Structure 1
Amino acid sequence: MNILAPLGAKEEVEMLAESGAEEFYCGITPMEWMEKYSPGVWINRRNPYAGFPSFKDLEEAVRRAEAYDIPLFLTLNAPYYTEAQYPMLIDLIKRCQEEVGIKAFIVSDPGLMAAMKSQVPKAPIHVSSLAAPMNTGSIELYKQMQVERIVLPRSVQLNEIPALKEAAGDIELEVFILNDGCVYEESFCMTTHSAGAFCSQAQWNYVPQHADGNKSLTAAELDTLNEQVDDYREFVWFVNDCNCQIAHDGLPLGPCGLCSLAKLDSMGVDSLKIVGREGAPYRKLASVQMVKAVMEQVRGKAAEEEVEKLARKIRNQPQYCESGLMCYYR
């Protein structure tokens, strides 16, 4: 399994490569796109300022990554694009493949995938998790489109992966391993966070009401409701990277799958995605170092129990691990 790290700037390449990154992914929002569609129309699943500002910077990042023999993948994973946007996207893909040196494109829109197969057939496609490749039927669809990798959504669990791997055959599988969750299923989300992540706000005010407007909630019903609301707010807190906090030892908090690395390896998973192109460099560095430390045990053929023990030790947050709410793979 390779460690896939996010890039937000060319200056991060050496730091992350030296710390254990084995693949990179990033975004770009060319000025031409912003001038035509405005910064509010995202070209990928992160705001325009989370990606590279120019082809020049992107090309330099590719050159630096190539010095470490590390491939760089480009995200074009907006939930969908209009047909009128395809020509500009195809031109971007051609330039990035032929001139910049991008090794693959992470895509969520099946229409764009079809356009790529028709007009840029040699451009490798990695199916984004936003394309909802979460069952064998969807895997078969993308298999027919001759993609090279499929990124499984966050909601896919360990007991589901073997069947998806069997259906994928020679197609690589990538899974989430650290940072950032989603309150719902991101694959079916047709919006962005440009107005704030309103879907994950849990500190709302409400007035309890009975389904029958002529009745009032009993004390027991009100207690049950309040308990459920508190549980939901706790869940949202974990999904939002524990309220975007940093642990006392400086490590980033938030959704994590480190305990499951040995299991994922035995299932034939090919790549481990660390989330956070827009994150601070230190967050990316600490994340790569955590994954690498556990992966060294996996590659050394340590038992699953030993891998899990080390992951919990590195995490050093027993109360969060025991809650189960910070786990990608529960």
Structure 2
Amino acid sequence: MKIVSGLGSIDEYIPFVKAGADEFFCGYVPLEWSRKYGTIRPLNRREVMNYNVQVGSLEELKILKNMMECYGVPVKLTLNSLYYSGTQYEEIAQYVDQCMQIGFSTFIIADPALILYLRQQNIPCRIHLSGECAEINSIFLEHMDAFDIQRVIFHRKNSIADMHSCVVKCKGKIPEYEAFFLNELCHFTGAYCNSLHCDEFAHLCHVPYELGKYNADRGITGEQAVSEEEKIPIADEEDGYVTGATGCGLCALYDLADAGITHLKIVGRGNYTEYARKDIMQTKRALTIREEVKEHFGDKTDKGRAAYIERIRKELFTNGCMENCYYRGEKIR
């Protein structure tokens, strides 16, 4: 399994490579696009300039390509907007062609109409189906296979059983499958989120809220009631880093591998660089633990899974698990 990390700036590339990342994804939003379309008609749904989320210029992109040639770790460019206006498709095709001329061949795309347009224009880019597309089932994926999709990035609300079913039914058609693994356990599915990710407004997923049963007389009640403002994580390190503080799939790694997941997604664009680096190192350590457990237990899945989880909780959660689980208590068999 490969580790895929978000890249907020070109300065993060080398330290993240050294931490163990196998692949990166990042956005490139030309200043001309931002000036023309602003926040309301985004290229990537990350129209942020006040902190490192995107590559902001063509020259930076060229520097990043030189780093890729030196270190051999690829970078994929994201086009995560759910839809574009009709006039934007031609501009995006020119954008894709320009990036390909520099040396970026793979694009993560959320809009099926854009995928269709690029194929109709005979643009030979490699395409990964974005998790923002909300892949629902194998029927949808079989339909998208007609457009030569190299990888499916499952959205964050998929269960392991659902992902396993899709992998089995699409076997031999789509070669790679990616799942969310660390950070950003958002309560929204990306394809149904209408929040603006920009400098001007707080992200809708960061607005405090409570979960529970609603009672007309007493408001929200029951053990499920949780205030996000009151959840104060205990830091694992002196610098405040917490493993899996905002979303974690570490304990599910054993089953994700058995389900056919080939790539693990670490969401990190805009995160503190040191925190993101440690996320990569924790994931690398988890993969090593899984291999060691597999070597010891062989195909004894239940015993191996239990041993793996015990080691993860002991070795990676020094102050206890945050219980922000992507795949709580799931098994594929």
- The answer to whether the 8 A contact 1:19-1:288 is kept is yes
**Residues 162-201 of structure 1: matches in 2 within 5 Å?**
162-170=164-172, 171=174, 172-194=176-198, 195-201=201-207
1:233 CA drift (Å): 3.2
Q: Greater helix share, 1 or 2?
A: 1
- The answer to whether the 8 A contact 2:186-2:205 is kept is no
Percent identity of equivalent pairs = 27
TM-score (norm 2): 0.84
Q: What residue number does 1:214 align with? A: none
Of residues 232, 235, 238 in structure 2, which corresponds to 1:247?
Answer: 235
Q: What residue number does 2:5 align with? A: 5
Q: What residue number does 1:297 align with? A: 289
Q: Does 1:130 align with 2:132?
A: yes
Q: Aligned pair in 2 of structure 1 residues 79, 103: CA closer, same or farther (>3 Å)?
A: same
Question: How many equivalent residue pairs?
Answer: 304
1:144 CA drift (Å): 2.0
Distance in 1 (CA, whole Å) between partners of 2:308 and 2:63 is 37
Q: How big is each residue's C-alpha offset from its partner over 1:192-239, in whole Å with a ceiling of 9 and x where there is no partner?
A: 2332223552359xxx984xxxxxx3xxxx2xx4324x73434x569x
Q: What residue number does 1:233 align with? A: 226
Distance in 2 (CA, whole Å) between partners of 1:117 and 1:51 is 26
Unaligned runs of 5+ in 2: 296-303, 329-333
Of residues 231, 241, 255 in structure 2, which corresponds to 1:263?
Answer: 255
Distance in 2 (CA, whole Å) between partners of 1:304 and 1:286 is 24
Q: How big is each residue's C-alpha offset from its partner over 1:52-90, in whole Å with a ceiling of 9 and x where there is no partner?
A: 111111221122123222111000011111111111111
- The answer to whether the 8 A contact 1:75-1:107 is kept is yes
Q: Does 1:97 align with 2:100?
A: yes
**Worse-matched range after superposition: 258-267 or 44-53:** 44-53
Of residues 58, 65, 70 in structure 1, which corresponds to 2:68?
Answer: 65
1:39 CA drift (Å): 4.4
Q: Aligned pair in 2 of structure 1 residues 109, 237: CA closer, same or farther (>3 Å)?
A: farther
**Residues 138-153 of structure 1: matches in 2 within 5 Å?**
138-153=140-155
1:124 CA drift (Å): 0.6
Distance in 2 (CA, whole Å) between partners of 1:318 and 1:36 is 48
- 3-state secondary structure, aligned to 1:148: strand
- The answer to whether the 8 A contact 2:132-2:190 is kept is yes
Distance in 2 (CA, whole Å) between partners of 1:255 and 1:142 is 29
1:38 CA drift (Å): 2.1
1:95 CA drift (Å): 1.1
Distance in 1 (CA, whole Å) between partners of 2:319 and 2:45 is 30
**Residues 201-216 of structure 1: matches in 2 within 5 Å?**
201-202=207-208, 210=216
Q: What residue number does 1:213 align with? A: none
Q: Aligned pair in 2 of structure 1 residues 39, 246: CA closer, same or farther (>3 Å)?
A: farther
**Worse-matched range after superposition: 265-274 or 167-176:** 167-176
1:173 CA drift (Å): 0.7
- 3-state secondary structure, aligned to 1:176: strand
1:139 CA drift (Å): 1.3
**Residues 74-89 of structure 1: matches in 2 within 5 Å?**
74-89=77-92
1:289 CA drift (Å): 0.6
Q: Does 1:308 align with 2:298?
A: no
Distance in 1 (CA, whole Å) between partners of 2:12 and 2:205 is 31
Q: What residue number does 2:29 align with? A: 29
- The answer to whether the 8 A contact 2:133-2:190 is kept is no
Query: What is the RMSD of the two structures over their aligned residues, measured on CA atoms?
Result: 2.3
Distance in 2 (CA, whole Å) between partners of 1:108 and 1:32 is 22
Distance in 1 (CA, whole Å) between partners of 2:119 and 2:264 is 26
1:5 CA drift (Å): 0.9
- 3-state secondary structure, aligned to 2:194: coil
**Worse-matched range after superposition: 65-74 or 266-275:** 65-74
- The answer to whether the 8 A contact 2:180-2:265 is kept is yes
Unaligned runs of 5+ in 1: 211-216
Q: What residue number does 1:273 align with? A: 265
* Counterpart amino acid of residue 310 in structure 1: R
1:146 CA drift (Å): 1.6
- 3-state secondary structure, aligned to 1:169: coil
